[in-house]
Structure 1
Amino acid sequence: MLFYMKKYNNRSVLLFLQLLIFAACSKTEEPPRPVGNKLPYAGAGISLAKLVDSIPEASIYRAALKRTRIQPYMDSLSAGNPGAPFTLFVPANKAWESAGYTMDNINTVPAAELDTIIRYLTITGGVPANTKNLMGETTYYPLMYKDRNITRSQVPTPFWAWTNRYYYYRLIVGLTDGVLRLNGRTVSKTAGIQATNGAVFMIDTLITKPFYETYQVLSSDTSFSFYMAALKKNNAVYARKGLLNSFNDTAALVLTVGSDSPGLDPFAIVFAPDNNAFRKAGFYSVADINSYIDQSVVAGAGNVGPMMTNMDSILMHHRLLSAFSGINPGYSFLYTIDLRYGLYTVNLGNAPSYGALMVQNNSGQTVLHRRDVPSGRGAMIISASDNTTLTGVIHRVDNLLLPTP
């Protein structure tokens, strides 16, 4: 009897195991469901062209690229060195759509317009995909054609053919803890993707080249009318006294010289006080500003030698200059995040010219003070700032940098 029970139990176990095996073999297994969005191929074993082709969110970019001659141009630059790297900042489809470009209309957009957009977002060499941090802002010169046909606010143009002078477009790249900025604007929080000949960074905002000088941008914004009136009044005094070559308040705001190679053209970081900033300082109209400047010693009768106006002794602290003549030749463009968190290695002064600043991070707000009078009135950078122009960057500030609080 005991033997029979053991035999029966063995058969039961065997039958149970057979049923398990049958069930396992006949069951249709469901694969694990992916979490989040599908990532494009992230290996370094394919070229940039194939990598871009593999990214679903780059379909509008691909359609635009095919309408240009950029890929053959890149190939020509890499002739004899197929691994020569490029960095592509590729706007995702939503970025194109937000700017008015869609798959339905991309083939009707002028090819030259698309060529300019993509060239501006392409740099030779550049940024490895695994880069997490760049110190401050790094200036790159994209695959743009050097330019002479730029709308300028003043004549004569410095870009005559016989001068061999051109304008070279800049693309300013910043990376902090993996957050990518272009021209001071946050455009991505995702890592780049490596290819055999460079890297792709998908961006969620379409960044385009600047079209206007700082002078043009400030002149067209009526909230800066007091500031521009002050600069012009100062210049009128200097012109009358034969001092305009020494003190020209608008020279750094316009395209004046051009250059024969990238990186030599001057620019200015301007901390432009708006009309409310002037009102806080007691200037309620352009007439008030003009009357104040007319009280300057240099505006009076007689020859007093090189001397700034009383207003310029204030406004000289509202700009940082960079010029190939020796003033801050190592400067790059400076944006709010750089100033707020000290992401720069340059001295915020204009020696041997005038004006020097110090910066405070006041509970996340960027506040400027004069270095010569640290206890004087501070000026906070307010919205809208980080405006990239052909001749630098404009920041709006809420006060004049007066020597008194």
Structure 2
Amino acid sequence: MDNESTAQSVQSDLAPIFAIIVGEHSGDTLGAGLMLELTRHYPNAKFIGIGGPKMLDLGFESLFAMDELSVMGLVEVLGRIRRLLHVRKTVTQYFIKHRPDVFIGIDAPDFNLNLEEKLKKQGIKTVHYVSPSVWAWREKRVFKIEKATNMVLSLLPFEKKFYDKHQVPCTFVGHPLADDIPLNSNKEEARAGLSLAKDNKIVALMPGSRGGELERLVPPFLASAQQLRASDPTLTFVVPMISEKRTAQFNQIKQTIAPDLPITVITGKTQEVMAASDCLLMASGTVTLEAALIKRPMVICYKFNLITYWLAKWLVKLQWFSLPNLLANKTLVPELLQDEVEPEYIVPLIKERLYNDQNNLTDEFTNIHLQLRQNASEKAAKAVVELL
């Protein structure tokens, strides 16, 4: 038996405990992919911490619901601070007592990095999967990350260069979305699968996955849809929602603002809706990368709580805030922020992308896709295994 076969045989007999904490749906997707790959190395592995529905379906044991951590914005976090501190204290004590072989914090840096630092001091190996935006603001956090982790797993190539500059261990693994999403997303197949009109132009309204995002973005998105529909009655509007809870919230807002506007709401099929669409009006976030990989034109918007916005404006020094533009290092897609998120700005940008040729944009998105397609979950799992 060769050395590699012997190592695989030993691994198959081991039952390591992997502690993982995720804070939102994108982290749940990363966590599920990582679990699948780690299970190939360690079929008897145990996974415990805080996970989402995809991870739970794979046998993950969650100590708290993932929604406990799904809070974004400085002011919003302050409103939940006592509960968040309770959750972190509870999981910290649990992991110190039960000592997992590796702790993997997936995104949620404000929650996970403090936890990782405490666990590392206790001799528990720690990994942070998805680099915080240290290259955008609070650059000195890189030294805290060095103290808190044995390894950073970065999804984006420019992040690896940043960590190398500061001599902090980092592995660029690529992005799992680039592995999962095909290079060519078929619009006709997607429409047939969702029973959507074959010939009409379709605009997807995508106001986000958090309650606060919907409160701020649904009203201007609906007002823009009304204006677009008035100028082109053949337009079809589709809204993908992440959960039944968000679907109910969207419908409630729509009933108040635009009860007569024809809209199809589809729950749990975001990528399919994007593939079926001609243009996307969307909140900023990881979903904008999905849109780029599916290769659909988009207009990206974001509105913060006012205090959060002014703090971010003071702290963050970036030319762009959306992932497609950051990855291309140029303006590929329009970004609207805060007071710009109004129909007078949104409608002309949507029309331009609906009715003009977008082939150059598709080529740019394809370049991004190829750059990020690295078998990310497999690479991430390999890096974690090497820590063991």
Fold shared per TM-score above 0.5: no
* TM-score scaled by length of structure 1: 0.25
* TM-score scaled by length of structure 2: 0.26
Find the structure with the greater CA-based Rg: 1
